[in-house]
Structure 1
């Protein structure tokens, strides 16, 4: 069985886990909450396993954006197979997109062609979201469409690829930087 839970991506000078919406939760050794390697500029990703008590993804997203004053996104992942990603800007512009589209169509019992028809708009809104923080200039929306139409064994890896393709700086091992 793969990972099920939420991935929260946002920018903050302080550890993202300090956001009030997380209620003082802390990273732990048993895999309930894991911080991914940070990205330059204060970008952070937190992985909340299903067993971790967390508000609804949309509520977490709004709270993180409010606390950080910066765009953020949340991916709700099911069994590492599929994810629904929501992104939000402080001004209120929101987008969402599915990762591993064929599996999403199968699980939601919606025609793949119907879901695929949404990809260009989803990709365009995701790219506009990234550009609102100064990343992704010069990127073609087709690059994001390609990611949204691709398939990875693990949806969480596809989420990381989406962030990379949107132009966010690459994550790096903080231990190696010291």
Structure 2
């Protein structure tokens, strides 16, 4: 059984009322431990399904960018981000996996295969923006957070769902699967959010 719920990265937000309202808890995971004032919170529900208001409230209260991901059974996720300047964007994590799950679900409920594939494509297209467009937003998000980051590692992660770098491609196929929450933590790395010193030592 994989993980379900929403992960939210917020800077200096341990006392924010919105987090209390969401019943958020600090995520206990090496990849979630961050420095420079950042914390990753875990909410058992789909916060993104509530619309943009919760994230915008966190942006306003923290005066800092916020980025969240709804994780579906650790297989894929939906990322939504917002900044103090007003930029809001979304993108799939493991886009191809999300398409496959939607297609198979549609087929299981009785749709013809061609209809199942078409509906799945429509579902994927209806959320967020394509990976290449999301990369531009992501680099700007990082800049508002105070980090200068290259676009290429973010693009590879969003296009393929794999960790950037040759080492990831050389791993045996059976070990290449990346849980959606791990992909989210990898995205935080690519956005410049530093890992906490203790997490670096444990990695």
Shorter-chain TM-score: what band? 0.7 to 0.9
Conserved 8 A contact 1:57-1:76: no
Deviations 1:52-107 (A, max 9, x none): 99982632211111110110011111111111111100121112111111112224
Residue 150 (structure 1) aligns with: 160
Q: How does 1:121-136 map to 2 (within 5 A)?
A: 121-136=133-148
Distance across 1 between alignment mates of 2:47 and 2:145: 30
Distance across 2 between alignment mates of 1:64 and 1:22: 8
Q: TM-score, normalised by structure 1?
A: 0.78
1:162 is aligned, of 187, 192, 199, to 187
Deviation, 1:35, is 2.6
Distance across 1 between alignment mates of 2:16 and 2:3: 23
1:131 to 1:106, Cα distance in 2 relative to 1, 3 A: same
Q: How does 1:75-94 map to 2 (within 5 A)?
A: 75-94=69-88
Deviations 1:136-162 (A, max 9, x none): 34x1x2211101123343100000000
Structure 2 unaligned residues grouped into runs of 5+: 103-119, 162-176
Residue 27 (structure 2) aligns with: 35
Deviations 1:9-67 (A, max 9, x none): 0101x52xx2111336767xxxxx343453221011011123x9998263221111111
Conserved 8 A contact 1:81-1:103: yes
- Structure label with greater radius of gyration: 2
Distance across 2 between alignment mates of 1:22 and 1:133: 20
From the two aligned structures, give the one with the greater helix fraction. 2
Q: TM-score, normalised by structure 2?
A: 0.69
Conserved 8 A contact 1:81-1:154: yes
Structure 1 unaligned residues grouped into runs of 5+: 28-32
What is the RMSD computed on CA atoms of the aligned residues?
3.0
Distance across 2 between alignment mates of 1:102 and 1:136: 29
